[in-house]
Amino acid sequence: MKSKKFLIIYICWIAFIWINSSIPAEGSSQISGGLSYELYRFLHLNIDFELFHSLIRKCAHFTEYTILGILACLSVKKERRFSMIAGCILVACLDETLQLFVPGRSGEIRDVLIDASGVIFGMGIYLLCEKIKHNKSVI
């Protein structure tokens, strides 16, 4: 492992994701709906609120897994980063499976694809930042 500190944060982040997924639909909708509504009002949008709320929830999926992808890169050596993609996608699959057992929730393949895209995006951000850092140190 590259850093035990980042591995612990990585594991805690997975727990955070799974805890959020274990909240029944009614509670989850109240949390995300309240946040979405406040943002919707603040931005004075002229689109359907339900569409906006759905986009916010999907962006939350993407963002959670973008962070997971970055943490995966930080927690392992360079040679193991791409094997972590499979691990992160497994986390997404287990997350959606968990939701099958939570009242009012459902597991969606679409969400696994959004999550996987977030992981790859996060790893890409990390690798880009690493490349920029390396190139600046050469100059």
86 versus 32: the higher-pLDDT residue is 86
pLDDT tens-digit series, residues 16-66: 999 999 999 888 888 888 888 898 889 988 899 899 988 999 999 999 999
Lowest mean pLDDT: which of 25-34, 113-122, 123-132? Answer: 25-34
Q: How many CB atoms lie within 10 A of CB 60?
A: 16
d(CA 62, CA 3): 25
Residue by residue, DSSP assigns the chain as ---HHHHHHHHHHHHHHHHHHTS-HHHHHHHHHHHHHHHHHHHT--S-HHHHHHHHHHHHHHHHHHHHHHHHHHHS-GGGHHHHHHHHHHHHHHHHHHHTTSTT----HHHHHHHHHHHHHHHHHHHHHHHHHHHHHH-
Tell me the whole-structure pTM to 2 decimals: 0.87
Residue range 3-24: average pLDDT? Answer: 93
